[in-house]
Amino acid sequence: MATEPSDNYGKVKVFGGGAVGGKGEGLIKINECPLPRAYKLDTWILTTDFYDRFLERGGRVAGEDLGAVAGILEEIGETPLGVRSSATNEAVTTEDGFGPIHAGENTTFMLPNNHPDVSIRLAQTVQAIQHIYKDFAGRQVEHNQDKMAVVINPVPGIFDDTLAGPLYYPYISGVANSFFPHALKSQKPEDGFARIAFGHGYATVLDDFPVISMVTIKDPIPVDMLRIGTGQQFFYALDMTRNRDLRGDELETMKRLHVRFANYHKIKLLGIHNNLITIEELVQNNHFAFKTGLEEIMETISSRISSRFQIEFVFNINFESRDKEDGFFHVVQLTQLPCPKVEAFDFPEIDKHAWLSIGNCQGHGAKTGIKHAVVVSPQTYTKEVHETVRRRLAEINQEMRQKGAYYILIVPGRLGSKNRDWGIFVEYKEVDRAAAIFEYGVDIAGRPEPVRGEDEEKGGIYGSHFLYMIQGGHDEEQRRLQTRMFGTQGTHFLTNLMSNNVIYGFIAPSEDRVSPWFFKGGDTDDPVSLLEFPAGATVYADSASQRCVVVAEEA
């Protein structure tokens, strides 16, 4: 019977005999791991059987499946909940190791679940499930075998009655990785990093405003040395009045607010500067044992489950307690990541034509037979043509997929960012045929690059995943430290690039070698050029030295 769980893993209940998907698999492993300082998260998983029946019924959740959802809501009670996608192509381990990593590509909803009418609460939850199924099904190609499971959890957090209305959010949300590929020489890459924010976790994975990075977790750089500037200015919170219908936009129940709308007495415990949140108390002073608690969790997962992984977590404290005691964690997602073999290899002698040679990259190995380059010109791109450029990139990517071909991509600024002042927003699936991606913007010491002439109105200076947001500083080493503070490591987009070994680099034109050929193709008024290498090209990248070259292949 679908109304009864088929499997029970402690706090995790599984309904149906199908697959549990990537998130479901990770939460089962977390539930079975004795994590210090972390509470187990009550979890209900609707396996892919529910998705199959949804398709068979012409796009409806009905019958016993509807009864199963009603029973889950009865167990949860009136508390905010997450209805989250868990696809079979979403970071699932296989007998051969790992399938492709596709983080953040599917729809997820956070629901108030507080309407006094239980039938309306049920209807909104079912709407969320159906939107997840429809969105996923609509993007599948013919004969694709991937399916969708759904994970339902209560959301650990706090209620806050504000001038913007009643809100609910975790005190702290974060994403943490066990390995940091761009550690400074004074740090250890295996000490990992975390990207943390006050409020809901969308702030940590979307990259649309600055949040705080702990680099590394074991020995974070002192906040005063980083000169973090304004700190966290905005936060995401669940709008508790959005408790009826859903249109299908996963952010429609959320509010993006300035931190002045939050309870001052709560945020001051995190560390504030000029009324903006620095989280210095948690990161630097280990308030509520946050830093040591996160360190213990990461070490336990590393020793018991996987050495390379990413977690999403929330951290709360009991504000009703007089001494506040220690805070408590919930791990809400575990993604096991592949551990790529980094074998040393000799770069070829660059006596033939080198299209590109740079000194900042991630990814490793040689990628041969590249026929095309796609270039978004920093001279002609402006954020006003963002949607046209994004659409063109997706079209070219689809053309390459149909041909079974790969290409290299050169863009101004921070690819994948929601903030158009920093770069171009795309989803990973829209550029997943790119064998290598190179950002063009500002060099590592913060010097603006000549991406436009003095008399030109177009073009501009853009941010970078490697540069992040530089705030002040006096010398190059100081600026190198500051590039780590507002990092985007941990966003879904960058996780997908790293996990799928996409070579990813930063072009500093004053230091690196880049052929002007890349910027001379196509219509000069069109920012997007599709170029063809005369005889093909090979990309070589060494993650140890962070050196990358693109060279011409023999004709």
CATH code, domain with 105: 3.30.1490.20
Same domain, 199 and 137: no
Confirm whether 183 is domain-assigned.
yes
Average pLDDT, the chain: 83
Closest CA to 151 of 63, 58, 76: 76
Handedness of CA 115, 119, 123, 129 (dihedral sign): positive
Q: What is the pLDDT of residue 140?
A: 81
Q: What's the whole-model pTM score?
A: 0.83
* Residues of the chain scoring pLDDT < 50: 1, 227-228, 442-461, 467-476, 479, 481-486
Residues 6+ apart with CB under 8 A from 545: none
Which of 244, 237, 77, 232 has the alpha carbon at shortest distance from 161? 237
- Which of 463-493 are b and which e, b meaning 16 or more Cβ less than 10 Å from the residue's Cβ? bbbbbbbbbebeeeebbbbbbbbbbbbbbbb
Q: Are residues 252 and 295 in the same domain?
A: yes
Same domain (yes/no): 91, 151: yes
Taking residue 80's Cβ as centre, other Cβ atoms within 10 Å add up to 22
The predicted pLDDT at position 493 comes to: 82
Residue 164: how many other CB atoms lie within 10 Å: 15
DSSP state of 331: E
Q: Where are the beta strands (DSSP E) in 212-353?
A: 212-215, 234-239, 254-258, 272-273, 276-277, 309-316, 328-336
Under DSSP, is residue 114 helix (H, G, I), strand (E, B) or coil? coil
8 A C-beta contact, residue 440 and residue 461? no
- Cα gap 73→67, rounded to integer Å: 10
Which range of residues forms the domain containing residue 421? 354-552
* Contact (Cβ atoms closer than 8 angstroms) between residue 78 and residue 118: no
Q: Examine residue 346 and state whether it is found in any structural domain, yes or no.
A: no
Instruction: Give the pLDDT confidence score for residue 416 in this predicted structure.
Output: 87
Sheet strands (E) in 10-111: 12-15, 43-46, 81-87, 93-94, 97-98, 108-111
32 part of a folded domain: yes
Question: Do 133 and 170 have their domain in common?
Answer: no
> Final residue of a domain: which of 127, 155, 183?
155
* Bridge partners (DSSP) listed for residue 515: none
Task: Tell me: do 132 and 171 sit in the same domain.
Answer: no
Give the count of domains, the chain: 3
In this structure, are residues 255 and 247 in contact, taking their beta carbons and an 8 Å threshold? no
Residue 345 falls inside a structural domain: no
Both tokens assigned to 458: 């177009």
Q: Is residue 332 part of a domain?
A: yes
Q: Are residues 32 and 90 in the same domain?
A: yes
Max CA separation in the chain (angstroms): 75
